[in-house]
Amino acid sequence: MPQIFHRSANTLSRATIFGALFVLAFLIWVGYMIQGSPYITYAGVRKPQPVPFSHQHHVAGLGIDCRYCHTSVENSSFAGIPPTRTCMNCHSQIWTNGALLEPVRASYRSGESLQWTRVNQLPDFVYFNHSIHVNKGVGCNTCHGPVDQMPLMYQQESLQMEWCLGCHREPQNNLRPREQVFNMRYQPPTEANPVTVDGRKFTEQAPLGSYLIKKYQVRSVGDITSCNTCHR
Protein backbone atom coordinates (compact mmCIF):
# COMPACT_ATOMS: atom_id res chain seq x y z
CA MET A 1 0.00 0.00 0.00
CA PRO A 2 1.49 3.36 -0.98
CA GLN A 3 2.43 5.78 1.86
CA ILE A 4 -0.32 8.33 2.42
CA PHE A 5 1.70 11.03 4.21
CA HIS A 6 5.05 12.33 3.16
CA ARG A 7 7.91 11.52 5.53
CA SER A 8 8.23 15.21 6.37
CA ALA A 9 4.91 14.89 8.19
CA ASN A 10 6.76 13.07 11.01
CA THR A 11 9.09 16.02 11.46
CA LEU A 12 6.18 18.46 11.32
CA SER A 13 4.20 16.55 13.96
CA ARG A 14 7.19 16.41 16.32
CA ALA A 15 7.81 20.13 15.82
CA THR A 16 4.14 20.83 16.53
CA ILE A 17 4.21 18.85 19.81
CA PHE A 18 7.42 20.48 21.02
CA GLY A 19 6.14 23.88 19.90
CA ALA A 20 2.91 23.41 21.88
CA LEU A 21 4.91 22.47 24.99
CA PHE A 22 7.10 25.53 24.53
CA VAL A 23 4.07 27.80 24.15
CA LEU A 24 2.45 26.26 27.25
CA ALA A 25 5.63 26.75 29.29
CA PHE A 26 5.88 30.33 28.04
CA LEU A 27 2.29 31.08 29.01
CA ILE A 28 2.88 29.64 32.50
CA TRP A 29 5.98 31.83 32.85
CA VAL A 30 4.06 34.92 31.71
CA GLY A 31 1.29 34.16 34.22
CA TYR A 32 3.85 33.74 37.02
CA MET A 33 5.52 37.05 36.15
CA ILE A 34 2.18 38.89 36.03
CA GLN A 35 1.14 37.37 39.37
CA GLY A 36 4.28 38.78 41.01
CA SER A 37 4.22 42.13 39.22
CA PRO A 38 3.16 45.47 40.75
CA TYR A 39 0.01 45.23 38.59
CA ILE A 40 -1.19 42.48 40.95
CA THR A 41 0.76 43.11 44.17
CA TYR A 42 0.72 46.95 44.09
CA ALA A 43 4.36 46.94 45.27
CA GLY A 44 5.87 50.37 44.69
CA VAL A 45 2.47 51.93 43.96
CA ARG A 46 1.66 55.17 45.78
CA LYS A 47 -2.06 55.13 46.52
CA PRO A 48 -4.05 58.38 46.77
CA GLN A 49 -4.67 59.61 50.30
CA PRO A 50 -6.91 62.35 51.72
CA VAL A 51 -3.75 64.13 52.92
CA PRO A 52 -0.28 63.70 51.34
CA PHE A 53 1.39 62.55 54.55
CA SER A 54 5.19 62.31 54.31
CA HIS A 55 6.87 59.68 56.47
CA GLN A 56 10.21 61.03 55.26
CA HIS A 57 9.47 64.43 56.77
CA HIS A 58 7.98 63.17 60.03
CA VAL A 59 10.32 60.22 60.70
CA ALA A 60 13.67 61.21 59.21
CA GLY A 61 13.19 64.98 59.35
CA LEU A 62 11.49 65.39 62.73
CA GLY A 63 12.57 62.13 64.37
CA ILE A 64 9.07 61.01 65.36
CA ASP A 65 9.03 57.41 66.58
CA CYS A 66 6.75 54.93 64.77
CA ARG A 67 4.88 54.25 68.02
CA TYR A 68 3.75 57.86 68.39
CA CYS A 69 1.20 57.29 65.61
CA HIS A 70 1.01 53.49 65.47
CA THR A 71 0.29 53.13 69.17
CA SER A 72 -0.87 49.51 69.30
CA VAL A 73 1.91 47.93 67.23
CA GLU A 74 3.62 46.36 70.29
CA ASN A 75 0.55 44.75 71.83
CA SER A 76 -2.01 44.22 69.08
CA SER A 77 -2.33 42.45 65.76
CA PHE A 78 -3.15 45.82 64.17
CA ALA A 79 -0.52 48.57 64.17
CA GLY A 80 -3.19 51.23 64.43
CA ILE A 81 -4.01 54.27 62.32
CA PRO A 82 -3.68 57.51 64.30
CA PRO A 83 -6.86 59.46 65.08
CA THR A 84 -7.08 63.06 63.91
CA ARG A 85 -6.35 64.36 67.40
CA THR A 86 -2.86 62.80 67.16
CA CYS A 87 -2.17 64.95 64.11
CA MET A 88 -3.61 68.00 65.84
CA ASN A 89 -1.29 67.60 68.82
CA CYS A 90 1.26 69.32 66.62
CA HIS A 91 -0.79 70.93 63.88
CA SER A 92 -2.90 72.99 66.25
CA GLN A 93 0.37 74.88 66.79
CA ILE A 94 2.21 74.63 63.46
CA TRP A 95 0.98 74.83 59.88
CA THR A 96 -2.36 75.92 61.29
CA ASN A 97 -3.53 77.47 58.01
CA GLY A 98 -1.82 75.18 55.47
CA ALA A 99 -4.23 74.29 52.65
CA LEU A 100 -2.94 70.71 52.49
CA LEU A 101 -4.01 70.15 56.08
CA GLU A 102 -7.57 71.43 55.73
CA PRO A 103 -8.97 67.84 55.58
CA VAL A 104 -7.29 67.21 58.96
CA ARG A 105 -8.77 70.34 60.53
CA ALA A 106 -12.18 69.55 59.05
CA SER A 107 -12.01 66.03 60.48
CA TYR A 108 -11.10 67.42 63.90
CA ARG A 109 -13.96 69.94 63.83
CA SER A 110 -16.59 67.44 62.68
CA GLY A 111 -15.36 64.37 64.55
CA GLU A 112 -15.48 62.32 61.36
CA SER A 113 -12.41 60.17 60.76
CA LEU A 114 -10.21 60.66 57.74
CA GLN A 115 -10.65 57.83 55.26
CA TRP A 116 -7.05 56.71 54.80
CA THR A 117 -6.28 54.13 52.12
CA ARG A 118 -4.54 51.02 53.44
CA VAL A 119 -1.15 50.71 51.76
CA ASN A 120 -0.03 47.31 53.06
CA GLN A 121 -3.21 45.32 52.56
CA LEU A 122 -3.41 41.56 53.15
CA PRO A 123 -6.30 39.35 51.99
CA ASP A 124 -9.05 38.62 54.51
CA PHE A 125 -7.98 34.97 54.70
CA VAL A 126 -4.51 35.89 56.00
CA TYR A 127 -3.91 36.48 59.71
CA PHE A 128 -1.00 38.76 60.58
CA ASN A 129 -0.08 39.91 64.06
CA HIS A 130 2.19 42.96 64.36
CA SER A 131 2.90 42.48 68.05
CA ILE A 132 4.27 38.95 67.59
CA HIS A 133 6.75 40.10 64.95
CA VAL A 134 7.80 43.19 66.92
CA ASN A 135 8.37 41.22 70.12
CA LYS A 136 10.34 38.53 68.27
CA GLY A 137 12.75 41.16 66.94
CA VAL A 138 11.51 41.79 63.39
CA GLY A 139 12.19 45.40 62.42
CA CYS A 140 9.56 47.66 60.85
CA ASN A 141 11.62 48.22 57.71
CA THR A 142 12.08 44.48 57.21
CA CYS A 143 8.53 44.37 55.87
CA HIS A 144 7.70 48.01 55.21
CA GLY A 145 10.99 49.05 53.62
CA PRO A 146 12.76 52.40 54.12
CA VAL A 147 9.69 54.24 55.40
CA ASP A 148 11.85 57.13 56.59
CA GLN A 149 12.80 57.81 52.97
CA MET A 150 9.27 57.76 51.54
CA PRO A 151 7.76 61.19 50.84
CA LEU A 152 4.57 59.30 49.97
CA MET A 153 3.99 55.87 51.46
CA TYR A 154 4.04 52.81 49.22
CA GLN A 155 4.13 49.06 49.69
CA GLN A 156 7.74 47.88 49.54
CA GLU A 157 7.30 44.11 49.20
CA SER A 158 4.91 41.87 47.30
CA LEU A 159 3.34 40.55 50.56
CA GLN A 160 2.59 37.33 48.73
CA MET A 161 2.81 33.98 50.51
CA GLU A 162 6.09 33.15 48.78
CA TRP A 163 7.69 36.26 50.29
CA CYS A 164 6.35 35.56 53.80
CA LEU A 165 7.56 31.95 53.71
CA GLY A 166 11.05 33.10 52.70
CA CYS A 167 11.36 34.81 56.08
CA HIS A 168 9.60 32.08 58.06
CA ARG A 169 11.95 29.43 56.67
CA GLU A 170 15.04 31.40 57.74
CA PRO A 171 13.91 33.73 60.54
CA GLN A 172 17.44 34.19 61.85
CA ASN A 173 18.23 36.38 58.85
CA ASN A 174 15.66 39.00 59.84
CA LEU A 175 15.92 39.25 63.62
CA ARG A 176 17.46 42.11 65.56
CA PRO A 177 17.52 43.22 69.22
CA ARG A 178 14.09 44.45 70.34
CA GLU A 179 15.43 47.89 71.13
CA GLN A 180 16.41 48.21 67.45
CA VAL A 181 13.04 47.15 65.98
CA PHE A 182 11.97 50.77 65.33
CA ASN A 183 15.41 51.90 64.14
CA MET A 184 15.06 52.48 60.40
CA ARG A 185 18.83 52.68 59.93
CA TYR A 186 19.72 49.46 61.76
CA GLN A 187 22.48 47.41 60.12
CA PRO A 188 23.24 43.72 60.81
CA PRO A 189 26.45 43.11 62.77
CA THR A 190 29.79 43.02 60.98
CA GLU A 191 33.42 42.71 62.06
CA ALA A 192 33.76 46.49 61.78
CA ASN A 193 30.46 47.22 63.54
CA PRO A 194 29.57 44.41 65.96
CA VAL A 195 26.27 44.39 67.85
CA THR A 196 26.32 43.78 71.60
CA VAL A 197 23.47 41.81 73.20
CA ASP A 198 23.53 40.63 76.82
CA GLY A 199 27.19 41.56 77.06
CA ARG A 200 28.15 39.45 74.04
CA LYS A 201 29.47 40.84 70.77
CA PHE A 202 28.09 39.47 67.52
CA THR A 203 29.58 39.72 64.03
CA GLU A 204 29.26 37.73 60.80
CA GLN A 205 31.35 35.02 62.43
CA ALA A 206 29.15 34.92 65.54
CA PRO A 207 25.61 35.00 64.09
CA LEU A 208 23.20 37.15 66.06
CA GLY A 209 20.06 35.65 64.54
CA SER A 210 20.63 32.17 65.94
CA TYR A 211 21.13 33.62 69.42
CA LEU A 212 17.96 35.74 69.19
CA ILE A 213 15.90 32.74 68.08
CA LYS A 214 16.64 31.15 71.45
CA LYS A 215 16.46 34.40 73.43
CA TYR A 216 13.04 35.40 72.03
CA GLN A 217 11.77 31.81 71.88
CA VAL A 218 10.96 31.85 68.18
CA ARG A 219 9.02 28.72 67.29
CA SER A 220 10.58 26.03 65.12
CA VAL A 221 10.56 26.42 61.35
CA GLY A 222 8.08 23.57 61.08
CA ASP A 223 5.60 25.47 63.25
CA ILE A 224 5.91 28.90 61.65
CA THR A 225 5.64 27.48 58.14
CA SER A 226 2.51 25.51 58.99
CA CYS A 227 -0.58 26.59 57.02
CA ASN A 228 -2.64 27.38 60.11
CA THR A 229 -0.05 29.88 61.35
CA CYS A 230 -1.40 32.45 58.90
CA HIS A 231 -4.59 30.85 57.56
CA ARG A 232 -6.98 30.51 60.50
For 45-86, the pLDDT digits (tens) are 999 999 999 999 999 999 999 999 999 999 999 998 999 999
Is 136 domain-assigned? yes
Q: What is the pLDDT at residue 199?
A: 93
Task: Give the chain's domain count.
Answer: 2
With a cut of 50, which residues of the chain have pLDDT below it?
Answer: none
> Does the residue 99 lie in any domain?
no
Q: How far apart are the first and last CA of the chain?
A: 68
Residue 103 lies in a domain: no
Q: Domain for residue 106, yes or no?
A: no
Q: Residue 107: inside a domain, yes or no?
A: no
| CA-closest candidate to residue 36, choices 150, 161, 136 | 161
Single pTM value for the model: 0.84
Whether 53 and 31 map to the same domain: the answer is: no
Q: From CA 47, how far away is CA 61, in angstroms rounded?
A: 22
Do 186 and 222 reside in the same domain of the chain?
Answer: yes
120 and 31 housed in the same domain: no
Asked if 1 and 13 sit in the same domain, the reply is yes
Q: Write down the pLDDT at residue 154.
A: 96
**169 and 203: one domain?**
yes
Q: Which domain holds residue 187?
A: 38-81+116-230
In the structure, how many helices (H) and strands (E) does the chain have? 12, 2
Domain check: are 167 and 212 in the same one? yes
Asked whether residue 179 is domain-assigned, the answer is yes
Do residue 173 and residue 70 come from a single domain? yes
Amino acid letter, residue 179: E
